[in-house]
Structures are given as C-alpha cells and as structure tokens.
Chains A and B, each alone.
Chain A
Amino acid sequence: MSVQGLFYALPRHGLRALLVEPSAMDDYLQRSAEQGGPLAMLDQGSWWQHDMQRLPEIEPGVAVEGTLAQHCWAWPADVVTDSAQGLATISATQLVQRMHAWQKAQDGAPADIDALRLWVRRQAALRSFWQAAAQRRDAVLLYVV
C-alpha cells in the first residue's frame, strides 16, 4: 500500500482542540474533506516527502502523536502565513534549479522534462493551497496515511 500525504486547511481556532484530543482528528478530517470544499484539502500522493524536502520555505510543523496516521504535522495559522510568504517568493527558475540539484544528488543524471513538468505542477498546487490557507488565516495539517 503506497503512502499518501494529504494537506488539510482547518480553522485556526480549532487546531488546539485537535492537538489536545488527537484521537478526534480522523473523524474531523473526514468531515472536513466532505464539507470544506476544493481548497480545504490537497492530495500530494506519495511525493509529499520529496516536495517538503525541496521546499525549506515551509517551516517545520508540530508533530502530532496519537492519530491513526503514520505521521501527522500541524502548522498554526501564523506559521502558515509566514510560510506562504516564503513560498510566494520562489520563482520557476529556482524551482527547476532545485529539481536539478536534487536529481543530481539522487543518481547524478539530469531530470527529464516530464519529471520537471510534474514537479512544477505539484509545486504550483501546493503553493496555491498554502496561499489560500494563509488568506483565510487557516491552520494546515499534513496527514500521512
């Protein structure tokens, strides 16, 4: 079974309750996914870890224990705003450079055009998600299942 990384945007005032009672998180996220609309959730698939590694603009989140997920991290609204500002400053050239550098570090071969296209598309989706969450002053949760 492949690992899947899901980003959720949730109201900033609700984050504390979920951190205090993490066992309620799974039900909450299911409801949130159904009711929150398209910008409340982002599925990054199995690439979530590579994406996070190549985006140091996103500050480390709070690790949440006690959920059904394999890993779970939370970012308070204030951190989301700062991270979104950092993400907004990255240009397409910088993204491509990072991809090349990462690929070189992996196997020494340059990245092919399809991989680059896919990477840029995923980054665009991730950046829009964080921007939208920051505009709403939402907190963000990464849920790895």
Chain B
Amino acid sequence: MAPGMALPIAVAILLAIYAARAAPALCMYGPESAEQTKHKGRGMGEKNPRWALGLLLAVGWLGAHRFYLGRHASAVAQLALALLCAALWLWGGPVARYAPYLLGPILFWLIRDGFWLFDYFRVEEDMDSRLSAFAQSQLDEQASLPASKAPVAAAPIPASVAQPAVAAALPADSPPRPATDPQTNKKALAIQMAQKHIGDALARRDMHTAHAEADTLVRYLAQRSRKPQSDPHLAMAYLLQGMTFYQTGDLDVARKKLQMGVHLGAAFAELAQPVQQAQLFLQRLRSPTMAPGASAAPALEPGQYPLLMQSRDWAQALALCEQTIALRQAGHDADAPDLAQHYLHAMEIAQHLGDRDRQRVHGQALLALAAHEGAAVPVAMRRQALERLGDLCQSDEDHQAATAHYAQALALVNVRSGGRNAAAQALALCALLQRMASSHTALGETAQALQCWQRLVLYVDSFDRLDQQGQRMPDPEAVSSMLTDYAAFAIRHQPARVKPLVQQALRIQQRSCRGYSLAAARAYEVFADFLAAHGQTEARRSYLKKALLLVQICDPDNSAHLQQLKTAIREAA
C-alpha cells in the first residue's frame, strides 16, 4: 500500500469506531427504538443501523456499508470506483488530472446512500415494531382459544377469490420449518401479518389501508431480498398485492403485480397453488366476458342485456331482460327501483320489436310493483310507464284509456321542484298536456282539449321568456312542435290564435337554429293549411315551398314527405 493511502484509511477506521459509538445520537432513531432494535435485531440476526451509518461515514467510499448490508454487487462497484480514482491519482502524470472527475459521482453516491440507509432502517424498524405487536397478539389469541381451535389458518381475507390462494401459500400453513433461519421466519411472519391486516381492511372496505399494507410488505421484502428470483416470500408478497388490487377493482395494477408474482413464484413448488390461482385471475383480466376455457363466443349474463340494447340486438336483449326480471322477482330482497328500471327497459325493447302486448304487460307489471312497493319505485319511472301505456292506448285508438293514463302521469309531475329539474319537469308536463289534448280532440271533447292547450301555452310562454332573456330553453324543437300542434287545433276552434302561435313557434326556431328545422317546416305547413282554409291558395303555395325547402335541408332522405309537399305545391298551382 502506498504511504499516501495509509493516513486516510487510518482516519477512516478511527471515524468508523467513533461513528459506531455516536450513531444513536446521529441517526434518526430515539434511544428506545435503538434499544428495541438491539434486542430484536441481535436476536433475529439483523443489521445494526449504528454500524451501517458508521461505516458509511468512515469508509463509505469503499462500499463498506453496502458490504455490511449484503449488497455485494453495488458494494464492489463502489469499491472499484474508489480504487480507480485512487489509482489514477497515484499513477500521476497526465492521467492524474482525470481523478477529480470521479470524486463527484463517489460523493453523490455517498449522499444518496445516506438517504437510502435512513429509509432502509425506517422500514425495518417500522416492520419490527409491527411484527412484535402482531406476534404478541397471535400468542394472546392462541392462549385464549381452546387447544383444538388453535391451528386455524390465519388467513381472514373475506373475499372468496384471494383467500384460498393466499391461505394455501402462506408459509405459516406449510409444515413448520426448523427455526434455524430467523430471517425466513420473520418474512413469513410479515406475510402472515400483512394478510391479516389486508383481510381486516377489505372486510371494512378500507381500500386505502389494504393497498398500503400490501405496498409496505412488498417494499420490506424487496429490500431484504438479496436475489429476488430466489426468494419465494417476495413472490408471495407480489401475488398478495396483486390479489388485493384485484379485489379492490384496480385491475391494471392487479395485472402488473400478478404478472410479477407469477414470474417470480413459478420456480417454487410451494407456490404452485397461488401461482395457478394468479394465472386464472390474469386470464380473467385478459378476457373478462369469457369463462375460462370456454368457447370463443362471449357468454353474456342476463344482467348485461343493456349491452345488447346498445348494439340494437333487440330480440336477444328482450330475452335476457325478461330473465333478469324473473331472477330479480325470485330473489327475496328484490330492489324495487332496480326491478322497475328493468321493466322500463323491457318496455323500450318491446317497443323496438313492435311487440305491443309485451310492452303493455311490462308496463302494467311496473305499475303493480309501484302499487305494492309505494314510494320505493321512483316517480319518474312510474310516469314514464304511464306515458308509454297511454301512447299504446292512443295508437290503438282507445282514447278514453289513453286520457286516463295521461291524467295519472300528469298527477306525478312536480313542477315545483327547484333548480334545473323544474324546467325538465315543466317540459314533461307540457308533453303530457299535448298528448291529453290530442286524446280529448279525438274524443270530440273540445273544451277539455282547449283547457289542456291553454295550460300548455302558459308553460311555453314562461320558456319563451327564459329564452328571450338569454337562458337556455329545454328542447326548443319540442316546444315549437307543441305550439304548432296547438295552431293546428286552433285552425278549427280558435282561428285568431293560429298566426300568433305559428309566429311564436318560428321565432323560437329562429333563435335556436336560425329557423332550419323540421319544427319550422311543420309550422309553415300548418300555416299553409290555415291559409288554404281561408282560400288563399297563392300564399299557401309560397308557405308550402318554404316547408319543402326546410324538409329538403333538414330531412333530405324523407322522400315520402318531400313527395307529399311537392304534390301539394303542384295542386296549389
């Protein structure tokens, strides 16, 4: 050894001795925890934080603290870096000027190691204190239980998916190993503790704690594993973490953790069962709608019929929807709003299929459910069912029944509910009044129809005022259509109202879409009819042309309507 190196090394050794003695004051642990670490650490063959810190301060540049903690590869790299620096310096000549450039990385590495050591021993100490508390609680529990019940598996994860796998692979469940390897026992105990805590957290739906427990376990075992590929405990920790994320619905993270667990644990025979279980989960994650080993056709559950509704497969959707309804009815704890929603869906599907009988049956079933369950069925659902039943009756020309249904639905509309909902409720009420007026007109009950229209106009006027003030009118096209229908009714019964109503409808359309809408076209058509009734054929033709142009722009594929308007224009000419 060169004489130049002797002095620094001697100083370093002296510093190491001093630091080892003074470390309790330098490091972040208090006297109690240092004492605790001393008792537990020595008993379990653990590393002493005071020695590690002392070595870092004294001969850290030689990688001594890393050798001490068993990080041999990185320690050799650190040593090689330091030796290279020293060799360049001792060599002298032109290469010696490169030596200072290596001091930067060495110093940076040492500073970083200071933080790393702090973190390392913080995790260790935290886990030590928790493990000792857990071991004590286990001992207390076993002492309080009868002898026959003592060896029950300590795997209380409530979810059915994770428990068999975790419990089967738990080292505590495996045949007891000789107590010659305290590190292994400590890791097994850590897994056992994490499993219990995760199970408790999942039982009380505390996802955050469950994730934190799994994460702490993985970090602890990762820093204690010299070779991750040869540590079954680390593999088990990843599997446990993946299963925890799987149960809490974080499927992306679950996939990654399970893949890591399977990768690490595949080599260990004692982990065969949890690895197999994890592979099953991974298969489910890759193809969630397919049963494992099933054919390529996706097997939809009855409750998934809304997917078929989206894909407009109405026939299959109705079959599955009715199965869902039957299942819900068979259950003792049927959820009334849920069941009502399925009835409404069944009505919608049957409407698309043109199956009026099914539509009626489901609507009446919903009303029966509402009569039985009372307020449990939401009012909006009852109103929708009544509206649809009324529409069915109206299309069957049973106007009396239609009016009765609409009247019932009308009683369920609460316009006084505040906020944005008030406008929607008012619009729903207007739609019902429009239908009721049509039914009354069909029945020849002009007075009642007029009453409905006048009531409707009051609401529409309030919408119009909102619109003029710059607030958004709910569905301007529907509002204009209502006014146009009223105008059509008024041609015979209130001729003086026709023009103002049509103008109001057109004004609303002008504001909402510059007048380019089918509602505006319909308004022009109605006004043309009004003019025809008064013998103004030329003016009628002009309004029909306007209507035709709007239909050509807004509904260019509706050839029947276009043809009808062209014929009317020709006749008017």
Contact = CB atoms under 8 A, between A and B. Distances in A.
Interface string B542-566: 0000000100111011000010000
26 contacts: A12-B556, A12-B557, A13-B556, A15-B553, A16-B516, A16-B553, A16-B554, A19-B514, A19-B516, A19-B553, A20-B513, A20-B514, A20-B516, A62-B549, A62-B553, A74-B553, A76-B549, A76-B552, A76-B553, A76-B556, A77-B552, A78-B552, A78-B556, A79-B552, A137-B556, A139-B556
9 A-B pairs with the lowest CB-CB distances in the bound complex, closest first: A76-B552, A12-B556, A78-B552, A20-B513, A77-B556, A76-B553, A19-B516, A16-B553, A16-B554
Nearest to A19: B516
Interface in B496-539: 513-514, 516
Contacts of A12: 556-557
A17 to B, nearest CB: 9
Interface string A77-117: 11100000000000000000000000000000000000000
Interface string A3-39: 0000000001101100110000000000000000000
A81 to B, nearest CB: 10
Contacts of B549: 62, 76
Interface string A110-145: 000000000000000000000000000101000000
Contacts of B562: 78
Contacts of B516: 16, 19-20
Contacts of B514: 19-20
Interface of A: 12-13, 15-16, 19-20, 62, 74, 76-79, 137, 139
A19 B513 CA distance: 9
A137 B516 CA distance: 19
Contacts of B556: 12-13, 15, 76-78, 137, 139
A22 to B, nearest CB: 8
Contacts of A76: 549, 552-553, 556
A62 B553 CA distance: 10
Nearest to B559: A78
Q: Is the interface of B mostly helix, strand, loop or mixed?
A: helix
Nearest to A66: B514
B560 to A, nearest CB: 13
Contacts of A74: 553
A45 to B, nearest CB: 28
B547 to A, nearest CB: 13
Given A19-B553, A77-B552, 4 more contacts: A15-B553, A76-B549, A78-B552, A79-B552
Contacts of A19: 514, 516, 553
A51 to B, nearest CB: 23
A125 B403 CA distance: 61
Contacts of A15: 553, 556
B557 to A, nearest CB: 8
Point out which of B513, B549, B554, B556 has the most chain A C-beta atoms below 10 A from its C-beta. B556
A79 B551 CA distance: 11
Contacts of A77: 552, 556
Nearest to A77: B556
Contacts of A16: 516, 553-554
A13 B513 CA distance: 15
A64 to B, nearest CB: 10
A139 B555 CA distance: 12
B32 to A, nearest CB: 73
Nearest to A75: B552
B567 to A, nearest CB: 14
A78 B513 CA distance: 21
A16 B516 CA distance: 7
Contacts of A137: 556
Contacts of B552: 76-79
A79 B554 CA distance: 13
B126 to A, nearest CB: 61
Contacts of A62: 549, 553
B548 to A, nearest CB: 8
Contacts of B554: 16
Nearest to A13: B556
Contacts of A139: 556
A71 to B, nearest CB: 18
A15 B514 CA distance: 13
A15 B557 CA distance: 13
A34 B562 CA distance: 33
A131 B543 CA distance: 29
A56 B311 CA distance: 48
A8 to B, nearest CB: 16
Nearest to A61: B549
A139 B557 CA distance: 12
Nearest to B558: A78
A12 B513 CA distance: 17
Interface in B356-395: none
A79 B553 CA distance: 10
A12 B559 CA distance: 13
A74 B552 CA distance: 11
A53 to B, nearest CB: 22
A105 B549 CA distance: 33
A20 to B, nearest CB: 5
A74 B514 CA distance: 15
Contacts of B513: 20
A74 to B, nearest CB: 8
Nearest to A74: B553
A78 B552 CA distance: 6
Contacts of A20: 513-514, 516
Nearest to A76: B552
A78 B563 CA distance: 11
Point out which of A12, A16, A62, A74 has the most chain B C-beta atoms below 10 A from its C-beta. A16
A62 to B, nearest CB: 7
